[in-house]
Amino acid sequence: MTTEAVAENAPAKINLCLHVTGRRLDGYHLLDSLVVFADVADRVFVTPAHGLSLVVAGPEGAGLQAEADNLVLRAARLFGVSDAALVLDKRLPIASGIGGGSADAAATLRALQRLTGLPMPPMSDILRLGADVPVCLDGRPSRMTGIGEKVTQLPALPRLACVLVNPRLPVPTPQVFAALTSRENPPLADLPHSALASAESFAAWLAAHTRNDLIPPAREVAPILADVQAALEATPDCLLARMTGSGGTHFGLFATDHAAEAAAAFLKAAHPFWWIETGRILD
């Protein structure tokens, strides 16, 4: 066990597409999704200590409390750690569809493994933290199926930049799923090798052959999301604009950092109160 502080990034999760293909008897929805991660991230710090504690800091930490059900503390307890001081530097908006809580839990598990040298808990236990935690724990471009427990790494994707936009309106996932009218939808088609030739070809394939089944119910919960979509689509050189997860964050894909930065500047001028960040899609 190391006595030094350990830090782990908790990158934003982006569902490039999200097909809802069914629902189990226990109420969990079956999903089929292509998931990538951006270098826009929360950060988790862990230091050996007497007792277990959590401090929530950062520009997006105001809406969170270090309560017993916080996912960072739940992840620490799942790992069996009782003597650690945890700090969550919160930079991703809460309830925003980019896996902030799940990414934080996954980062906590990785940090505690580095701190203690102990093995990861069983995946069946990790899944109880949230359906997105397994894919966030892996942290690579993946296809996620089942209720989130089946994670298959994707082949190398073309280089992509992104803009993430959230209108500062939390969109609770349970409300979105409650408004979903069709729970039995076709799964994803296999990703063809030809789609990986360039950022443009990949975005075109996503637009033509994939979807996010949660967009209609999310817009029913929060109609402003249609405006976010339209604003991103209107930016120059945007290859694809779409809502990620259950909302309300939307992503725009761009071929270059310069194009993404120009789009973000345009959006910030038009919508100064929205949360807008640029980043790169991680390998």
Catalytically annotated residue among 13, 32, 89, 213: 13
Quote the CA–CA distance of 9 and 170 in Å, as a whole number: 23
Helix (H) or strand (E) holding 252: strand 250-254
d(Cα 23, Cα 128) in Å, to the nearest integer? 17
**Is residue 90 flagged as an active site residue?**
no
Mapping DSSP to helix (H, G, I), strand (E, B) and coil, where does residue 88 land?
A: strand
- The residue from 32, 89, 104, 132 that is catalytic is 132
**Local structure of residue 127 (DSSP, 8 states):** G
Angle at 153 between CA 73 and CA 72, to 5 degrees: 5
**Order of strands across the sheet with 161-166?**
240-243, 250-254, 161-166, 275-280
Helix (H, G, I), strand (E, B) or coil at 248: coil
The answer to whether the bond into 146 is cis (omega within 30° of 0) is: no
The CA distance from 221 to 54, in Å, is: 32
Q: Which of 141, 138, 117, 140 is closest to 126 using CA atoms? A: 138
132 part of the active site: yes
Q: Annotated active-site positions, please?
A: 13, 132
